[in-house]
Structure 1
Amino acid sequence: MTTIAVLCDPPRDGLVLTALPETSPLSTTEATELYTAMLQDACRAVEASGGELLVNYRPDDALPEHDGQTKTVESELESEPKSESKDEAEAHVRAVVDNTLDDPDVARFERQVGETFSGRAGNTATHLLEREGVGTVAIVKPNAPFLSRQQIDTAAMKLRRSPVILGPSTDGRVYYAGFRETIDYADAYTAPAVETLTDRAIDAGHEVDFLPQFPVVESGTDLAEALALIRARQRAGRLVPEHTTAFLDSLGLSIVECEHGLDLTR
């Protein structure tokens, strides 16, 4: 059973998906709502799979300064038990996850530790593999809407044969990085991350295998590509990410072709 660590930020305006308002018709608040929907789908995918869900959040004292407002549903926060030991970031992430899962008890919540994403991912993977003794661990982010139960379970099977499994995305990025053995994680997500992570695994003497390529969402171009695939899968009667699809359907977006590929309009 693979422990799937979802490395996430609290869904706050101006903190998550910051490139989307500049590169798409989405407002800052809509970008936050999209991030929330993708976080919901990521956690539901892990719950439906054979993996264990670890929600690895950045606490308040590790967040960059930003001017946005916390974007959560008030009724969700009001349902959260008060705890002096729980910072606002944890409370906001818990509010989303607990109200998404069929069984909220399946989720474990831990603070991220580290100054960079590579450092935080590496600390999480190393701690789980070496100190907690889990068999395999995977690092994912909520901006990968096509991470599904099938992808998670396929990766778990591949990890039995190869110590490192990567899920490639566009522009050399990755939506999934699974490990049976540790690597040198310092700057391991340096672009192109799929190549850097592969090199680190090979340098450590590990075989690497890959999952199918799927989009991640950071920019307007990313979102146009993801939306096109969602709509194609809808029309073909295939599975789509439930919360992400419902939110995008509500926006009234159109996909148009432009010089650099696909773009979005309203």
Structure 2
Amino acid sequence: MTVVVVLADPPRPGLVLPDLPDTSPLSAGAATDLYRALLKDTVRAVERSGASLLVNYRPDDLLPDGFVTDTASEAALRSLAASALEDVTDARFEEQVGSDVSARAGNTISHLLGEEGAQSVAVVRGTAPLLTRSLLDSSAMKLRTNETVLGPSTRGRTYFAGYTEPADFAAAFGDAELETLTDRARDAGHDVEYLPMQVAVETGADLRDLLPVLWSRISAERIVPEHTASFVHEHGLRVRDGELVIDNP
């Protein structure tokens, strides 16, 4: 069974999706609500798959100044997960350890593979709403014959990074992430396989890529991420003439 590690922050304005208010019509509060929806859909997809869910969160002492509230980071994320999952008691919640995303992801992957004996571990960001049960199950199959499986996103990023053996993760998550993770895997002697490309939401440009796909799936009555689709519908978010607009402000 693959352990799917969802990297998560408590949903607080300015902390999550910080670039979205300046690159879209959404306010900081609306961007935070979108993050909640994206994260709910992510943890629900993991629960529905054959994977084991681990929510890996930044504790309060790793949050930037100004984002610590009376509600602890873990409590905020447990509450969010409980509203999305059928049984939140099946999910694990563990603190991130490390100075940056690369260190936190690498520490978690290495610990689970080396110390807990997990057969495979995948790190996902909770902002790729089209991640599905079938895609996660497909990744598990690919990890049976490849030491590394990566899910490409736009602008050279990834939304999924799965391993059966560790690699060098120092400064691997960031610029040219997909290439760096591939090169590090090959340096470690790994066979590398890929999942279909998906959009991970960080900026307005990402929403411009995502929304036509999402609205098309809604129109075709195909499976959509429930919480993200509801947010988009309620806010009337659309792409018109290449620009993000709100049809029913």
Task: Provide Cα deviations, 1:2-49, integer angstroms capped at 9, x if missing partner.
Answer: 000001000001100000000000000000000001110011000000
Shift of 1:110: 0.2
Aligned with residue 97 of structure 2, among 113, 135, 142: 113
Q: 1:69 to 1:247 in 2, by over 3 A?
A: farther
Output aligned runs, 1:125-140, within 5 Å.
125-140=109-124
What value does the CA root-mean-square deviation take over the aligned residues?
1.3
Q: 1:251 to 1:157 in 2, by over 3 A?
A: same
* TM-score for the superposition, normalised by structure 1: 0.90
Which stretch of structure 1 is more off in the superposition, 27-36 or 225-234? Answer: 225-234
Gaps (5+ residues) in structure 1? 71-86
Contact 2:60 2:68 in 1 (8 A): no
Task: Provide Cα deviations, 1:137-172, integer angstroms capped at 9, x if missing partner.
Answer: 000011111111011100000000100000001110
Q: Counterpart of 1:77?
A: none
C-alpha distance in structure 2 between counterparts of 1:38 and 1:110, whole Å: 20
C-alpha distance in structure 1 between counterparts of 2:174 and 2:126, whole Å: 19
Shift of 1:183: 0.2
Task: Provide Cα deviations, 1:151-203, integer angstroms capped at 9, x if missing partner.
Answer: 11000000001000000011100000000000001011131111000000000
Q: Counterpart of 2:180?
A: 196
Q: Counterpart of 2:164?
A: 180
Gaps (5+ residues) in structure 2? none
Shift of 1:256: 2.1
C-alpha distance in structure 1 between counterparts of 2:123 and 2:67, whole Å: 28
* TM-score for the superposition, normalised by structure 2: 0.96
Q: Counterpart of 1:229?
A: 213
Q: Counterpart of 1:18?
A: 18
Which stretches of structure 1, 4 residues or more, deviate above 3 A after TM superposition?
66-70
Contact 1:56 1:109 in 2 (8 A): yes
Shift of 1:239: 1.0
Q: 1:114 to 1:256 in 2, by over 3 A?
A: same
Aligned with residue 265 of structure 1, among 237, 245, 249: 245
Task: Provide Cα deviations, 1:90-144, integer angstroms capped at 9, x if missing partner.
Answer: 1100010012111111111000001110000000000000000000000001111
C-alpha distance in structure 2 between counterparts of 1:32 and 1:104, whole Å: 22
C-alpha distance in structure 2 between counterparts of 1:96 and 1:160, whole Å: 32
Q: How many residue pairs end up in the alignment?
A: 246
Output aligned runs, 1:141-152, within 5 Å.
141-152=125-136
Report the 3-state secondary structure (helix = DSSP H, G, I; strand = E; otherwise coil) of the residue aligned with 2:236: coil
C-alpha distance in structure 1 between counterparts of 2:243 and 2:205, whole Å: 6
C-alpha distance in structure 2 between counterparts of 1:103 and 1:38, whole Å: 19
Q: Counterpart of 2:51?
A: 51
Task: Provide Cα deviations, 1:60-92, integer angstroms capped at 9, x if missing partner.
Answer: 00011246978xxxxxxxxxxxxxxxx711110
Output aligned runs, 1:73-112, within 5 Å.
88-112=72-96
